[in-house]
Every structure is written in C-alpha cells, then in structure tokens.
C-alpha cells in the first residue's frame, strides 16, 4: 500500500482505509506492506502489517510525490508483490516503474482533487493530467462513490472498481470531554471540516448566525492553507456567543464523543466521494444537515436536511429546531444505514478479491491505455 501517510491512521480517509483494510488482510494471512511517512510510531510492524518508514520533502506540493517516489524505489528492489494499491491519482507518474517490474497496480483515484481551492492553476492542471495518466497506466481504478465511477465513465469510458469506505459504529461515548467544553449531550450542532471554501464552513456559520437556533454551533477544524478564509469564518462568528470555534481536535476519543453527543452534524463538503467525516457521524447515529450535492445525497440515501447556501443553512437550522422528533428518528436511521452499507469487513472483502484478480492477470490496461479525456 503506497502513497499515503500510512499507519497508524491519524490524518484522513486514505490512512483510515489503509489501516482498516490492511489489518484485516493481515488477519486473513496475507503479507501486507504499508509505506509510511511522518509517524511517531517507528515500529516495523503494526496490527500485523509490515511498516516501511521513509522520508518525504516537507513541502506541500512535493511531500506526497517525494515519499511515493522513495516508496516505489524501495518496492522495486524487494521481492515482487502480488499486487500494489497506490492511493491518490497525483502519484500516477510512478505507475510505469511498477509496471516495468510486472507488479499489478490498483490506483485509488480519490475525489475530484483538481476542484479544490487550495491548489493554484498549475496544481489543478497537474491533477487533471495525473488523472488521465493514471487511467492509462493502472490495471484497475478504484472509486469510493458512484459519482466518481460515473465521472471516469463519462470522461474516459473506463470501468472502475466501486469500493466504499467503512463507517465506525459508535453505540456509546463518555460525556466528560463534551461537558468540560461547556456543552450538553444532544445539545449542540457540530461541524468538522478543514477550512476550505469547498467545505462551506463560512456559509454554515453565516446561516446559523441568521437562524433562530438556540443550541450552540460547535466548529472543529482549521485552515492548513488559507489564513484569509479562516479570518472570514472568525469574523462571521464574532460577537455571537452561540458559535464555538474549537480549532483542530486531534484526540480521537474526544472527537468520537463530539460526534456521538451532537444533536446534528452539519456537513458542508462538496468535492470528493464518500466522505469519512460524514460516515463517522452516521455511525454515531447523529442526524445530518448536508450540503446538497450528489455525493452527499447518495451516501445519506437522501435521508437528511439539505442546503446549498447560507440562507438554506439558516432555514435548515430553523426546521431542525422545530422538529426534534425527526432529528431523533433520522439519527437512528443514519446508524442503520452505516451498519448496512458501510462495513469495513465488506470493504476488506472487496480489496482482497481485487488483489486476487490482479495477481491472476486481470487488467483494464489493454483497453484503457489509449483513453483520452472527453471534456
């Protein structure tokens, strides 16, 4: 498994998938190697997985690529694996080296990264190019949501492997950390997001401020790349004691408790596929107010309150305030959907089956190698 920050998972969806899938494959008797960077955990084994620690350049644009380059070089010089899972389309330039070593490759495409505001013109152009390059060189393409599969079908006429993320299921959580922050269980609305425009934190805060909501709005997150956007959010919240900006929360137990005890989880993400933070709220049995985009509607099976601007967010907060019974019902339904449709055991089954097919020679490369972007 190549191209992520590795294990233990402490960052995002890719890392969680690597840990959850990798440890299950190891439990089933497979030899799993995970390339890791920047971890305080320096042991060479974790949950049955072999961990290879390699360096990375500490520069935003080069960190992932430099580490992946070293990881691929390391893999080329070792015993040839039956299959390699490469995460992030940005890492596609290294696929020809793996192919030259006759290593079958599944490339996890992630979301539509070139739509993210944190990338400048050159960064977005690179991601667009890397998508097309990856389509031509991988043996299999992994999409984590139907919308991503549809995108690659429409753009390149290539098939993808639809493999979702799993949702952690929470049936209880301690109240202490929540109460220490002046919050009451089932008595606040929660936002967890990086402060980036495509996550619509500003519109959520503006909409909440204009609403008649009485429960506090708790915002967890920060802006690794955009101080200006953070300042706009702070200005929108200034003077309203109902809005609590907590910054980043890196204590996973506290974060789980915040999800579990929230009255609603407000999800503003609009770019990407199946979002891990949304799955975490669903697994915690928390009702959701979500930005109205196809990825979110599909994940939630339409069972949420939806908004597409600050005014819409205001209206949804007012609706939720006036219908607490619906919040309780939808929270139960969210957990049931997570348990049924987003199970890590099922995800591991699908990765295992794909690895077997790849090692047996299955590949889309013969047809996809001439693919061209249509738009």
pLDDT tier at 198 (50, 70, 90 boundaries)? very high
Task: Quick: pLDDT tens for 92-137.
Answer: 999 999 999 999 999 999 767 777 766 788 888 999 999 999 999 9
Q: Enumerate long-range contacts of 115-120, CB under 8 Å, 24 or more apart.
A: 115/198, 115/271, 116/196, 116/198, 116/271, 117/196, 117/197, 117/198, 117/226, 118/196, 118/224, 118/225, 118/226
The pLDDT tens digits of the residues spanning 308-355 come to: 999 999 999 999 999 999 999 999 999 999 999 999 999 999 999 999
List, in order, residues 6 or more apart from 44 with CB less than 8 Å away: 50, 51, 52, 53
Domains of the chain (ranges plus CATH)?
Answer: 13-166+344-368 (3.40.50.2000), 176-341 (3.40.50.2000)
The predicted model scores a pTM of 0.91
pLDDT digits (tens, 9 = 90+) for 219-275: 999 876 678 999 999 999 999 999 999 999 989 899 999 999 999 999 999 987 889
């Amino acid at each position: 498994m190549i191209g992520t920050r590795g294990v233990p998972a402490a960052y995002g969806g890719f890392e969680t998938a690597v840990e959850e899938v990798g440890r299950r494959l190891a439990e089933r008797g497979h030899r799993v190697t995970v390339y890791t960077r920047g971890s305080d955990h320096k042991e060479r084994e974790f949950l049955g997985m072999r961990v290879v620690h390699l360096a990375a350049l500490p520069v935003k644009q080069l960190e992932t690529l430099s580490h992946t380059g070293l990881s691929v070089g390391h893999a080329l010089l070792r015993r040839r694996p039956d299959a390699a899972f490469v995460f992030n389309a940005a890492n596609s330039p290294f696929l020809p080296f793996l192919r030259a070593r006759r290593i079958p490759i599944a490339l996890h495409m992630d979301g539509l990264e070139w739509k993210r505001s944190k990338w400048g013109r050159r960064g977005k152009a690179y991601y667009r190019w890397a998508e097309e390059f990856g389509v031509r060189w991988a043996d299999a393409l992994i999409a984590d949501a139907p919308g991503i599969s549809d995108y690659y079908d429409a753009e390149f006429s290539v098939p993808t492997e639809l493999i979702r993320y799993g949702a952690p299921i929470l049936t209880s959580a301690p109240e202490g950390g929540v109460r220490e922050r002046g919050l009451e269980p089932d008595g606040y609305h929660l936002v967890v997001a990086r402060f980036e425009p495509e996550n619509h934190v500003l519109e959520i805060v503006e909409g909440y401020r204009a609403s008649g909501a009485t429960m506090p709005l708790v915002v967890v997150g920060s802006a690794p790349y955009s101080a200006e956007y953070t300042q706009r959010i702070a200005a929108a919240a200034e003077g309203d004691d109902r809005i609590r900006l907590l910054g980043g929360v890196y204590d996973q137990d506290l974060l789980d408790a915040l999800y579990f005890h929230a009255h609603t989880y407000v999800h503003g993400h609009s770019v990407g596929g199946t979002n891990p933070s949304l799955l975490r709220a669903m697994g915690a049995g928390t009702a959701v107010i979500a930005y109205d985009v196809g990825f979110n509607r599909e994940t939630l099976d339409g069972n949420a309150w939806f908004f597409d601007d600050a005014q819409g967010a205001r209206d949804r907060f007012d609706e939720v305030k006036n219908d607490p019974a619906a919040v309780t019902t939808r929270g139960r339904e969210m957990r049931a959907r997570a348990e049924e449709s987003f199970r890590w055991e099922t995800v591991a089954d699908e990765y295992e089956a794909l690895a077997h097919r790849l090692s047996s020679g299955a590949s889309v490369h013969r047809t996809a190698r001439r693919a061209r972007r249509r738009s």
